[in-house]
Amino acid sequence: MSRSKRLLTLLDLLRQSRRPITARQLAQQLNVSVRSIYRDIATLQEQGAQIEGEAGVGYQMASGFWLPPLNFTSQELEALVLGMRWVTRQADPELAHSAAVCLGKVLSELPDDLADEVTHNTLLVGPAASLADDDNVACLRAALQAELKIEFQYQDHAGRNSQRVVWPMALGYFQTALMLIAWCETRQDFRHFRVDRLYDLVVKDQARYPTARRTLMNQWYEQQQIPKPLPF
């Protein structure tokens, strides 16, 4: 492994660790000497990486530190561009705009050769299907972030209408539908709703639901017997 690649890998290890990690642990993972780790950390700190800690105690990336985009590999950039292009095509206007701004920030900081690769990236996203009303999606994302109850009318696949009060937990973006995962007070269980079948949606501004969204999601994963996604 070249030193430049080792430095990038070292940054990733520090960024991913939630607790201080010792130089010996880092050396074992990178298959180098502890002395090499000390030199690498000093080099990264000189280049502006906000690494906290000291020898014998452990090292940790400072909270809020963002890796410069120039540290991305070509394949990582391809994945990032493809993901951002998908969001700009499939998400509501507010989230699509944020994705475009994010991609612009990455592009502005890249060296010329990598910027050219991003500009002429060959991975494209097809035309977007109309998954749901944009206003409803924006309201749902706001309710999710604030952990607020929502109320709406729902029409199922058979055309039956019902009024629901639910605790929103997640939005699932599928190719032909946008699904809301929620705890339903009416059914006293987890339910999945197609967002394009919601209408008269109201966010209850003063009604936080009593169970934390993360707890509800863990319970939902257990009930569905599916593994949790990777933490990113």
Model confidence, pTM: 0.61
At how many degrees (to 10) do helices 93-109 and 112-119 cross?
150
Average pLDDT, stretch 203-208?
A: 86
- The band of 6, judged by pLDDT with boundaries at 50, 70 and 90, is confident
The span from the CA of 110 to the CA of 101, in Å, is: 15
Residue of 94 and 122 predicted with greater confidence:
94
Give the highest mean pLDDT range of 37-41, 50-54, 205-209. 37-41
Here the tokens at position 42 are 């000093």
Over the stretch 153-202, which tens digit does the pLDDT of each residue have? Answer: 999 989 999 999 999 999 988 877 889 999 999 999 999 999 999 999 99
Residue of 51 and 122 predicted with greater confidence:
51
Classify 147 in phi/psi space as left (phi over 0), alpha (psi -120 to 50) or beta. Answer: left
DSSP state of 126: -
Mean pLDDT of the chain: 84
The span from the CA of 145 to the CA of 64, in Å, is: 20
